[in-house]
């Protein structure tokens, strides 16, 4: 026992173990701080390699996300379909299918518009004071051609 | 997601202890460097998208697995390695831990009493004693007291119960104290 040793008050067994472990860990830290230059250099190189791999890994994750989000655009451009996972022939047909779908939609809208116009005419005729049957009357047609009497 | 700087700072903070931990396990500096390098690369490739706070636990787990992989490869090569998973006989029940603590404290804390050579020898003896611990005890001791993980985190990394961690740590401390005393660190 050295005269410089600390006087330790009675403590629990667990606390004693923790204190002992702390001293030993401190000694190990001192050992690890004094590594040879070659080892430190090799660790630095390993760290740099790991960081480089991490960058590549992040780029791969980001590019996967971008290709997933922009898959439709790639198809419309007619570019290679390798990234989207669709067969090439299907990718080539996609613009045509979209064009047909658009034309059908426009045609349907025209039909709906015509129906709306016809409905408006019908409602005006039905709500007018003149009954619709009057237009089938030859005398009334003559009256309309000549115009009202002065 | 951990940034480049966070990952770099983390690796820088942990690499020396990781190297030493691997050296204690495999007793070969070249192999230990390979293990640490593999662990760093595995962490970077597979876990770079994890938050920085998760890196310590993940890295220690990877390091443990990489060390185990090394031993498996060595077994295949029929190289004799002393990596017993079993504890030695628990015949240190009556060992005086307090006395050993005084001894270690006196040995490490009073530079004026010992010159640098003897201090280096003491540190070397401590390292050798740590390396001589059974694998699980050494892993528990280093994670718990050197990496400063709590019992739960240590149990997570080691894949065992918290009670096992406490038992391993206690046995490791007693074994180290006894070994150091036997090596004359009680001057």
What total of structural domains would you count in chain A? 2
What domain range is A30 assigned to?
9-69
The answer to which of A98-107, B58-67, B103-112, B163-172 has the lowest mean pLDDT is: B103-112
Q: How far apart are CA B25 and CA B176, in angstroms?
A: 15
Instruction: Report whether pLDDT(A6) > 60.
Output: no
CATH number of B4-76: 1.10.1740
Q: A12-37: per-residue pLDDT in tens?
A: 788 888 888 888 898 888 888 888 99
Q: How far apart are CA B11 and CA B1, in angstroms?
A: 15
Q: How far apart are CA B134 and CA B84, in angstroms?
A: 6
Q: B6-46: per-residue pLDDT in tens?
A: 889 999 999 999 999 999 999 999 999 999 999 999 999 88
B187 inside 8 A of chain A by CB? yes
In a domain, A1, yes or no: no
In a domain, A74, yes or no: no
- Quick one: A65 and A109 in the same domain? no
The domain locations on chain B are: 4-76, 97-182
Write out chain A residues lying below 8 Å of B127, CB-based.
28, 31
In a domain, A54, yes or no: yes
Q: Return the H-helix or E-strand segment holding B119.
A: helix B116-132
Mutate which of B8, B98, B101 to disrupt the A interface (most A C-beta within 10 Å)? B101
Q: What is the pLDDT of residue A122?
A: 86
In a domain, A116, yes or no: yes
Tell which of A18, A46, A69 closes a domain. Answer: A69
Q: What is the pLDDT of residue A73?
A: 52
Question: CA–CA distance from A61 to each of A48, B10, B176 (Å)?
Answer: 20, 22, 46
Centre a 10 Å sphere on the Cβ of residue A145 and count the other Cβ atoms it contains.
Answer: 7
Q: What is the pLDDT of residue B167?
A: 94
In a domain, A79, yes or no: no
Q: What ipTM is given for this predicted complex?
A: 0.73
Query: Which residues 84-123 of B are in CB contact (within 8 Å) with A?
Result: 97-98, 100-110, 112-113, 122-123
Write out chain B residues lying below 8 Å of A5, CB-based.
102-103, 105-106, 109-110
Q: What is the pLDDT of residue B95?
A: 61
For the four alpha carbons of A115, A116, A121 and A125, in that order, the dihedral sign comes to positive
Instruction: Report the phi/psi class of residue A130: left, alpha or beta, with left for phi > 0 and alpha for psi in -120 to 50.
Output: beta
- Quick one: A91 and A52 in the same domain? no
Tell which of A21, A41, A69 closes a domain. Answer: A69
Q: What is the pLDDT of residue B110?
A: 53
Q: B57-83: per-residue pLDDT in tens?
A: 999 999 999 999 998 888 887 555 555
In a domain, A29, yes or no: yes
In a domain, A97, yes or no: yes
Stated pTM of the model? 0.61
- Quick one: A91 and A147 in the same domain? yes
- Quick one: A39 and A101 in the same domain? no
A131 confidence band (pLDDT: 50, 70, 90):
confident
In a domain, A76, yes or no: no
- Tokens at residue A19, please? 């204190």
Q: What is the pLDDT of residue B119?
A: 79
Size of interface A-B (CB pairs under 8 A): 148
B97-182 architecture in CATH?
Orthogonal Bundle (1.10)
Percent of chain A with pLDDT strictly greater than 70: 77
Query: Which residues 119-148 of B are in CB contact (within 8 Å) with A?
Result: 122-124, 126-127, 130, 141-142, 144-146
């Amino acid at each position: 026992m050295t005269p410089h040793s600390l006087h330790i008050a009675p403590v629990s067994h667990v606390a004693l173990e923790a204190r002992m472990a702390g001293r030993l860990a401190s000694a190990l830290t001192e050992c690890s701080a004094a590594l040879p230059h070659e080892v430190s250099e090799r660790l630095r190189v390993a760290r740099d390699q790991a960081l480089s791999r991490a960058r590549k890994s992040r780029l791969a994750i980001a590019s996967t996300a971008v290709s997933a989000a922009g898959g439709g655009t790639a198809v419309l451009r007619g570019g290679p379909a390798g990234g989207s996972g669709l067969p090439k022939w299907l990718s080539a047909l996609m613009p045509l299918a979209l064009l047909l779908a658009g034309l059908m939609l426009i045609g349907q809208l025209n039909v709906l518009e015509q129906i709306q116009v016809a409905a408006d005419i019908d409602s005006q005729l039905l709500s007018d004071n003149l009954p619709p049957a009057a237009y089938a009357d030859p005398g009334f047609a003559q009256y309309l051609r000549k115009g009202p009497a002065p | 997601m951990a940034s480049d700087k966070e990952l770099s700072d983390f690796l820088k903070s942990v690499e020396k202890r990781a190297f030493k931990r691997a050296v204690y396990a495999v007793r070969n500096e070249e192999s230990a460097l390979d293990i640490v390098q593999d662990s760093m690369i595995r962490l970077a490739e597979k876990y770079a998208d994890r938050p920085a706070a998760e890196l310590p636990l993940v890295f220690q787990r990877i390091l443990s697995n990489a060390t185990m992989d090394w031993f498996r490869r060595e077994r295949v090569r029929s190289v004799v390695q002393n990596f017993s998973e079993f504890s030695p006989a628990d015949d240190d029940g009556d060992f005086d831990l307090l006395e050993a603590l005084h001894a270690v404290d006196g040995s490490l804390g009073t530079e004026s009493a010992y010159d640098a050579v003897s201090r280096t020898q003491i540190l070397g003896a401590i390292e050798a004693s740590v390396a001589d611990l059974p694998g699980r005890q050494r892993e528990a001791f280093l994670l718990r007291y050197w990496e400063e993980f709590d019992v739960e985190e240590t149990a997570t990394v080691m894949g065992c119960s918290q009670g096992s961690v406490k038992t391993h740590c206690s046995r490791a401390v007693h074994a180290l104290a006894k070994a150091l005393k036997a090596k004359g660190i009680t001057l």
